[in-house]
Every structure is written in structure tokens, then in C-alpha cells.
Amino acid sequence: MIPPGQVPPRAEADDAESLGVDRAREIILGRVEPVSGSERLPLRGALGRVLAGDVISAMDVPGHDNSAMDGYALHHAELAADGETVLGIAGTAFAGRGFDGVVGARQCVRIMTGGVIPAGTDTVVAQEAVRVEGMHIVVPAGQRRGQHVRRAGEDLRAGAAALRAGKVIRPADLGLVASLGIAEVTVQRRLRVAIFSTGDELCSVGAPLGRGEVYDSNRYTLHGMLTRLGCDLLDLGVVRDRPDAIEAAFRQAAENADAVVTSGGVSVGEADFVRGLMAELGEVAFWKIAMRPGRPMAFGRIGGAWLFGLPGNPVAVMVTFYQFVREALLKMMGVSPTEPLPRFRVPCVTPLKKRRGRSEFQRGVLFADDGGWKVRATGAQGSGILSSMAEANCFIVIEPDRGDIEAGQPVEVQPFEGLI
């Protein structure tokens, strides 16, 4: 492991040998730490935010034993071991309006779902299981003691942590916190992330495209991914391939953000140029990662901010973001534990070209047919072909030791829809 406070050694970064994907992820996650700072928010506003402290339940949920069914509450000991039992109906317990009377011998109480179990009863018989005869019911044999009763505290116990710090608040969590009667929660402050694109060939959307220029699409995909992750964005636009411009952008970004995510300018040639600058501004390692797309990448620290220098190719930006940046930013946001995107194996219906010795992240469409879930590749897989990414709903993750894959073989897929 790399000791904290030190950037990955140059030997590893500059080595002719490339860094494996898992190793790169491990180094990055080993370095970044959660940022400090929290805020108190009304419950609804906390959706998607990260809990800064445990939410402790001050009470049992539910607060009372109550019925899980519409039916009749009774004392199980009153029932005949075999054969039917006739019981008188002493009254009704509604949800929110209990039965306050006394349940005598050979009596039961009509009870609605959520109604508090009346004193003197311990079991609920579903209404469809009994025969009603005037003010009596006939209960068949075979009722289990305690059936259809939700116990006080079975959801949450008073004093227990209902939710742990580090959890991303989802709809179920909002409901759970509300069920405790808590109206405000303390969440981590939002992470501030600065982005910019580098390249002399880049043109911003809205301006006419000059000869040989391309529209800057990376800031838009980054905007989408970072916004879904819940970050505050500082968009510094397009920065030209000039040392003074790049230096100014890095300084401004590092002063105003917790993390800086850039695209372009880290490949051979350009990297040499940015590299000198980085030596002055901070500690940054340039990596060749054994993956496709996404081979060149820079990672390190500039001032108080972590830098993720992603490649320029539009697909490579997205692949490296999902594989490295996403989880690192989640950790910085205070999410704990962080987990990589889930993966599972399905048959691939298209043959795949794959070079051994590197991880490949091809774009796939996961679909279901009669035979279960399968994946197909989305046409051309060039790292500049963003339409392959737009069509895809998953990565097909092919391990370094695998070569070409025949149709029908199992492959790992990593769905990306809806996860951030």
C-alpha cells in the first residue's frame, strides 16, 4: 500500500508496464478521505444526500402490538384444541381508534389492519377464516397463537440506530425517518467538483464549428454523471492547450473545489507538457492503465483538491469516471461503505474482439428474452464513438486474461442505468 500523504511512486506510474484496473482503483480509494462539514435539512430535502450521523430511534416502531389483518382479535387459550369455537363480538378496534372495553371469556374483538391488539387478546384470526353468525363468530381449529400480530418494536427498537452515518438517503430512508417522527436530519455538505476540458480543437456548444474543430461533449457527460452523484459543479469551460491557461485553470479549480475532474491532455506528448506543470502545482502521477478505453489517466493532489485527469476520448471519459472517479467521490462525500457498481454474468449473443493483457469495457445492451437475461454489444466500439454509450445500458467487462469471445459465451456485465 502507498502510505498516506504520498502520491503513488513514479516507478509504478512511469513504468513501461501498465497499472491494472483493480490496483488503480485500490490506490485511489486508499488515498481520498471524506470531506468535513455538514448541514441540517428538512427531511424531504435530504433525498439523495449522505447521512452525517446515525439516526437513533427514540421509540419502538410500531409503538404497539397491532393487527396485520382485518379480522378478529381473541385470546388463543379460549379456542378448542380441535373443532370449532363460538365467540361473541365485544366491540371493534379500528386503526387509530382502539377498543377500550374489557374482553371477557368467550369473547373476541372485531379488528382492522393496524388496530391496537386489545388487552386480553393475543391472536388475530383473518375475517375470511371465520363464519359470522349475528354477533358471534365461529372459529375453525388450527389457529396459531400470536398469528397476524405485528409486535411493538419489530421494525425498530427504541435506542437502536435506525440508519447509519454514511448512508445515501433513498425513498425508503425518508419514510423510515418519518416513521420515527423526526423532521430534520444532518447530512454531509455537498462535494464541490470543478471540471474543465482541455484541447485546442474544442468548440463550445452554441458557437459555430470551425474547420477541424469538435464540439466539447465531455463537459456535458461529466455534468450529467456528477449531477446524478449529487455534487455541486464548478464548470470552468474549455481550456486551450497552453501552459499559462492550463495553470490558471488548475489553480482556480483547486482553490474552489474538493476535486477537479478534467478531460484530455494526459496522453503521451500532451502529458509531458502537463506533467511539468503538475510538478510545480502539486503531486500528480500519470498512469498508463491496462484497460480499453481509458489507458492514460492522471491522479493526484493539487493544493487542497484531488485531481482526476481523464483521457479526452468521450467514451474513455465515461468508462474511467464509472470505474475510478465515481467511487472515489462517493468516499469523499462521506458514503460508507462505498461499493463498486454491481456485476453479474450473462451469455453474450454477439462475438467480441478482445486483446489479452488488458481489461476491456465494451458497451452492451442487457435484455431479457425467453431464455433469461442476455447481453449484446452495441456496434462499433471505438473510444470516440459516444453513440455506442448512448445506446448501451451496461458495460461488458472483459477480464485481462480473456481473448476473443464467441457468441453464447458468458461475460460479466455492469449495468449503469439508474445507479447514480
Give contact residues for ligand AMP (rule: CB under 6 A): 197, 199, 201-202, 214, 216-218, 263-265, 267, 270, 311-314, 384
Q: Which one of Mg ion, ligand AMP, none is in contact with 216 (Cβ closer than 5 to 8 A by kind)?
A: ligand AMP
User: Using CB atoms within 10 A of its CB, is residue 284 exposed (0-12), middle (13-18) or buried (19+)?
Assistant: buried
Of the pair 126, 203, the CB lying nearest Mg ion is at 203
Name the percent of the chain in helix, strand, coil, to the closest 5: 25, 35, 45
Q: Which one of ligand AMP, Mg ion, none is in contact with 166 (Cβ closer than 5 to 8 A by kind)?
A: none
Give the nearest distance from C-beta 265 to Mg ion in angstroms. 5
Give the nearest distance from C-beta 238 to ligand AMP in angstroms. 7
Of the pair 120, 312, the CB lying nearest Mg ion is at 312
Element (H, E) at 271: helix 270-281
Q: Which one of ligand AMP, Mg ion, none is in contact with 197 (Cβ closer than 5 to 8 A by kind)?
A: ligand AMP
Give the nearest distance from C-beta 312 to ligand AMP in angstroms. 2
Of the pair 194, 346, the CB lying nearest ligand AMP is at 194
Of the pair 71, 264, the CB lying nearest Mg ion is at 264
Q: Nine-digit cell at 378? A: 452495441
CA separation (Å) from 319 to 208, 227, 238, 394? 29, 17, 21, 11
Residues 302, 286: Cα–Cα separation, whole Å: 14
Of the pair 143, 218, the CB lying nearest ligand AMP is at 218
Give the nearest distance from C-beta 266 to Mg ion in angstroms. 9
Which residues of this chain interact with Mg ion, rule CB under 5 A?
199, 264, 312
| Residue 232 neighbours by CB under 8 Å, 6+ apart | 190, 191, 192, 193
Separation of first and last alpha carbons in the chain: 29
What amino acid occupies position 32? V
Beta carbons of 346 and 414 less than 8 angstroms apart? no
Give the nearest distance from C-beta 300 to Mg ion in angstroms. 19
Q: Which one of ligand AMP, Mg ion, none is in contact with 214 (Cβ closer than 5 to 8 A by kind)?
A: ligand AMP
Q: Sheet containing 232-239: give its strands across.
A: 232-239, 192-198, 259-263, 305-310, 296-302, 282-288
Give the nearest distance from C-beta 33 to Mg ion in angstroms. 31
Q: Which one of ligand AMP, Mg ion, none is in contact with 71 (Cβ closer than 5 to 8 A by kind)?
A: none
